Structure 1
Amino acid sequence: MRILVAEDHRMILDSLALLLSSIDGIEVVSKHTNGRQVLTALEIEPDIAVVVSDLQMPVMGGIELTIKLRERFPHVKICLLTVEDKPDTIKEAIRAGADGYVLKSAERAELETALHMIVKGNKFYSEQVMMQLAHETGIELIPDAGKPQKITISKRELDVLTLIAQEFSGTQIAEKLFISPTTVETHRKHLMQKLGVQTTIGLVKYAIKFQII
């Protein structure tokens, strides 16, 4: 897995690159201090699988970089690695198209898991990130037509929804939340009814669009 790393603090950048290079199957191709440098590097570096980027950087930060990657290099995955755990920032990153959102307080094993999941086309958000999102309920939704309406989603439903967004199966969600697969399916159906969608994919897209996750 060939990756680029972006972090504006040199000491952290060097340490992160060293840590990532020690993971089997990962090659750190180059290190950068802002998003613009990453875009320039991608023009000349072939077969880059993932960009690991800080959120707050001068010149071009992680969210703007995410948007640019989706436009210019849609095949390249991006994992944001940050101390920022505010729900509004997390949701902005998700809407921008971030494949992963990992807090800098995470252990090496979590970052390793995130990268391997992301390169396979999955999403990965740290458990702490999901907990922050789970604190927000009663989201205001504005449909395409008509007046705004308020849809109340329980904490448990939001737990299920965030795990669905990470592409966990019903059985895996049940194991993580210590509930039965039948209960997971019940929550899934209730969420679809509340959001007015017909499929799980539609459910997740609608949830992201209206900032539920």
Structure 2
Amino acid sequence: MRILVVEDHRILLDSLAMLLASIEDVEVVSKHTNGRQVLTALELDSNINLVVSDLQMPIMNGIELTLQLRDQFPSVKICLLTVADQPDAIKEAIRAGADGYVLKSADRSELEKALVMINKGHKFYSDQVLMQLAGETSIELVPDSGKPDKITITKRELDVLKLIAQEYSGSEIAEKLFIAPTTVETHRKHLMQKLGVQSTIGLVKYAIKYQLV
């Protein structure tokens, strides 16, 4: 996996490059301090699999770089690294076409998982990012592999799923839907079984992935 690294703080750039280079099958081809340098580098060598870029940079930031890559080098994937975990920033990055969005607080194993998944053609958003998006109703995410297999979900289950993804508690969902809290838990269990997930976070990820919220 041939990677370009972009970070405007040189100490962080060197540290990030060393970390990425320590991951199996990763080759850090070059390091850059802004997006414009990346585009120049790709004109000289377009055989790059992935760009790992900071979000906030001078001259050309991560969002602008993402848009340029989608236009000029669509085969090159991009993963944005940032301290920003606000829904607006996340939505902007996703809508620009970012393949991944990982917080700088992530550990090495999460970063490695992100690179592997993105290189295989999947999207990757850290759990913190997904939880930030859970309460948003206007985000547009494109599923990795089209629509899910046909699963029969009742209207009431869908109502419960949407409220779970908006971080309402079981008692709050019961109050909103005029049903008993035990009924909410029954719907939650049925949803987990039908969707093949193991936790509430799994339900949230599913709801976001398939644009149910």
Which 4+ residue blocks in structure 1 deviate beyond 2 angstroms?
152-159, 175-179
Q: 1:42 to 1:157 in 2, by over 3 A?
A: same
Q: Does 1:18 align with 2:41?
A: no
Query: Alpha-carbon deviation of 1:42?
Result: 0.5
Whether 1:154 aligns to 2:162 is yes
- Find the counterpart in structure 2 of residue 147 from structure 1: none
TM-score (norm 2): 0.70
State TM-score, norm by structure 1. 0.70
Deviations 1:3-40 (A, max 9, x none): 00000000000000000000000000000000000000
CA distance in 1, matches of 2:110, 2:139: 32
Unaligned runs of 5+ in 2: 141-158, 168-193
RMSD between aligned alpha carbons?
Answer: 2.8
Q: State the structure with more CA Rg.
A: 2
State how far apart, in whole Å, the 1-side matches of 2:139 and 2:52 are.
32
* Closer/same/farther in 2, CA of residues 178 and 28 from structure 1, 3 Å limit: closer
Matched, 1:50 2:58: no
**Contact residue 34 and residue 61 of structure 1 kept, 8 A:** yes
Match of 1:33 in 2: 33
Give the structure 2 partner of residue 164 of structure 1: none
The one-letter code sitting in structure 2 at the alignment partner of 1:60 is: M
Q: Please tell me whether the aligned partners of residues 135 and 165 of structure 2 are also in contact (alpha carbons under 8 angstroms).
A: no
CA distance in 1, matches of 2:96, 2:139: 20
Q: Which runs of 5+ in 1 are unaligned?
A: 142-151, 160-168, 192-199
| Alignment match, 1:65 | 65
Cα distance, 1:177 vs structure 2: 3.2
Counterpart amino acid of 1:108?
Answer: R
Q: What secondary structure does 2:25 align onto?
A: coil
| Whole-angstrom distance in 2 between the partners of 1:110 and 1:88 | 23
Alpha-carbon distance between aligned partners in 1 of 2:33 and 2:139, rounded to the nearest angstrom:
37
